[in-house]
Amino acid sequence: MKKNASESNSMLENNEGRIIKPFNYSGKKRFLVMARVGDTSLHKEWLHPDRKFDLFLEYFGDGSNNYKEDCDFYSEAKNSKWPRFHKIIEDFGDHIFKYDAVWMPDDDISTDCSTIHQLFDLFTKYKLSLAQPSLSKDSYYSHDITRQVPRSILRYTNFVEVMVPLFSREALQLCWDTFKKSKSGWGLDSVWPKLLGNPRNKIAIIDEVSVKHTRPLRKGTLYDDIHYTLSDSKIELHCICKEYGVKEPFNFKINRTLPKKKR
């Protein structure tokens, strides 16, 4: 049932959010997907009756949609992705940290359930700590390193973008406290590898799996929602990198490429 605008605005004014379907880990599924979703969200593409992951959605739209029937756990709040995920983990970490791995895609990612299953399978097979699917050639992208490379299973790197990060339980436990330190998300993906000890074979971009980023860069509602300019985001990048001693953000490195076997 859709809510009228006055009801939704009143409900969403509180940045602490409204928990409608709280986390309750059942032990039946090893993996979790967490996404903040607006009125143009593509998350319905991810759904399937036989999905092998639990799904948490947090709605930040104008109140014209209600997605609680699409997911296992559901809340509604304004603010932005990373501070809200920090708050959710702070409140429900006892449940979230029971999953083997947690994927946190933006809501403009086009993919399907079987692709998400494959992503989790490869992440587990190669015993990764932090990873992301590659971006398809027709995606909007910020960093060339994230684009899919043909004939590659994965590339071990020193970077995974905030758009689509996948954490192991242990990596999430080490990184989640940074989430509250960047409303825009800028800088977080520069400090996560350092927090994990800059391993050479635990952080990867998975080329075997690609997803499509459908929205042009900085065309979403984020900057309006948090009243930020591009300069504000750059300040956040500088501050968080300084705090964690990261001297060269976006200094991308490919440690090794794992090629597909020739047929």
Domains of the chain: 5-257 (3.90.550)
Show the tokens assigned to 5.
Answer: 């605008």
What is the per-residue pLDDT across 160-171, written as a single tens digit (0 to 9) for each? 999 999 999 999
pLDDT above 50 for 175: yes
The confidence score (pLDDT) of residue 88 equals 97
Higher pLDDT, 66 or 134: 134
Q: Model pTM?
A: 0.91
What is the per-residue pLDDT across 27-60, written as a single tens digit (0 to 9) for each? 999 999 999 999 999 999 999 999 999 999 999 9
86 Cβ contact list (under 8 Å, min separation 6): 176, 177, 179, 180
Phi, psi of 87 (to 5 degrees): -65, -40
What is the per-residue pLDDT across 120-160, written as a single tens digit (0 to 9) for each? 999 999 999 999 999 999 999 999 999 999 999 999 999 99
Show the tokens assigned to 155.
Answer: 């590339």
Radius of gyration (C-alpha) of the chain in whole angstroms: 18
Nearest to 193 by CA among 159, 156, 237, 144: 159
Average pLDDT estimate for 212-225: 76
Q: Strand 31-37 relative to strand 53-59: parallel, antiparallel, unpaired?
A: parallel
